[in-house]
């Protein structure tokens, strides 16, 4: 019998009530409390808490500074500091907001998430094609995924948390619109099978997965190891590939999401061309809302031969 792709079980299990999770339950309770607050009350609290994060998060901020200075070599030190400050603020704002994705109504979420470019999705659906949405690691990526999942069938893939309760909570949230969340071990074959079932998914192409099968191509002001698999996956699953950008407008108290036109399949013929096209899509998303990107990731961990480790 063929191995069946694994997905997360989001049913509640009594083992999650074990005392070892009581501290985690408290943290989730705090998130539910903030998720129920109006943004006009929650956001100022988040900005205040962000000041504390800037003081204590020494290692993540060091990584962010390395990433930003390499990706934007012409940026002044003052602007690097400002971008880091804005980035931490938006991290805390998004974190404290996230429980609303699970507890608030779809009508509320549609007001909170302004969706532009839906005509590109509709065109693909009219052509009876699923979609591979390209989105790098940005703080509000869960908002983008769930907003699209309100209108079309979506699956996703995630790395498991070591904490069983947080694992249940985050994947319960991700599947709240009847989506399915696969474990990473399920692999590309699981995603291809979903495309053939007419299910779309979000793909995050910016993660550094090491030198194996990766290609070094230009990325902002540096080069980056990129794994070129999307083009072949889209071809095999008859899918369109669409970048998505999203950012939080603090004045409007809205997440502004834009689905961009599909990448021309001809631009992704050949591994190097595909890696270049993916990095260009990621650059578009980052440059639209640079303060929303997860600069704390070691996205430049793999370097070309002869270059020293940046971190």
Summarised one tens digit per residue, pLDDT across range 133-172 is: 999 999 999 999 999 999 998 888 877 788 888 888 888 8
Is the CB of residue 210 less than 8 Å from the CB of residue 287? no
Q: Which helix (H) or strand (E) holds 212?
A: none
Q: Which domains does the chain have, with CATH numbers?
A: 14-292 (3.40.1130)
> Is this structure's pTM higher than 0.85?
yes
Summarised one tens digit per residue, pLDDT across range 92-127 is: 999 999 999 989 999 999 999 999 999 999 999 999
- CB-CB neighbours of 16 under 10 Å: 15
- DSSP annotation of 114: E
Strand ranges, E, within the chain: 113-116, 131-134, 154-158, 180-183, 200-203, 215-219, 222-226, 240-249, 254-259
Nearest to 201 by CA among 171, 184, 180: 180
Is the CB of residue 35 less than 8 Å from the CB of residue 86? no
Tell me the two tokens of residue 109.
Answer: 């979420």
């Amino acid at each position: 019998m063929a191995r069946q792709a694994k997905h997360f079980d989001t049913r509640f299990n009594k083992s999650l009530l074990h005392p070892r999770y009581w501290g985690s339950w408290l943290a989730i309770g705090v998130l539910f409390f903030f998720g129920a607050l109006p943004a006009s009350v929650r956001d100022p609290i988040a900005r205040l808490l962000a000041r504390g994060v800037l003081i204590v998060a020494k290692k993540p901020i060091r990584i962010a500074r390395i990433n930003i200075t390499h990706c934007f070599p012409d940026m002044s030190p003052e602007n690097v500091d400002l971008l880091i400050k804005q980035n931490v603020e938006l991290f805390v704002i998004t974190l404290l907001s996230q429980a609303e994705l699970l507890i608030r109504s779809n009508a509320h979420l549609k007001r909170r998430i302004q969706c532009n470019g839906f005509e590109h999705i509709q065109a693909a659906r009219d052509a009876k094609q699923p979609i591979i949405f390209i989105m790098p690691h940005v703080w509000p990526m869960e908002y983008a995924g769930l907003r699209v999942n309100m209108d079309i069938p979506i699956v996703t893939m995630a790395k498991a948390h070591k904490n069983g309760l947080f694992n249940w909570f985050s994947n319960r949230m991700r599947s709240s619109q009847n989506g399915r969340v696969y474990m990473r071990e399920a692999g590309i074959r699981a995603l291809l099978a979903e495309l053939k079932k007419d299910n779309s998914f979000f793909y995050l192409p910016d993660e550094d997965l090491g030198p194996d099968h990766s290609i070094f191509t230009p990325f902002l002001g540096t080069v980056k190891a990129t794994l070129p698999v999307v083009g072949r996956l889209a071809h095999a699953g008859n899918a369109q590939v669409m970048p998505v950008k999203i950012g939080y407008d603090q004045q409007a108290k809205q997440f502004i999401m834009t689905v961009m036109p599909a990448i021309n399949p001809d631009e992704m013929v050949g591994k190097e061309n595909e890696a270049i096209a993916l990095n260009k899509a990621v650059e578009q998303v980052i440059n639209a809302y640079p303060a929303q990107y997860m600069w704390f990731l070691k996205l430049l961990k793999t370097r070309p031969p002869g270059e020293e480790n940046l971190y």
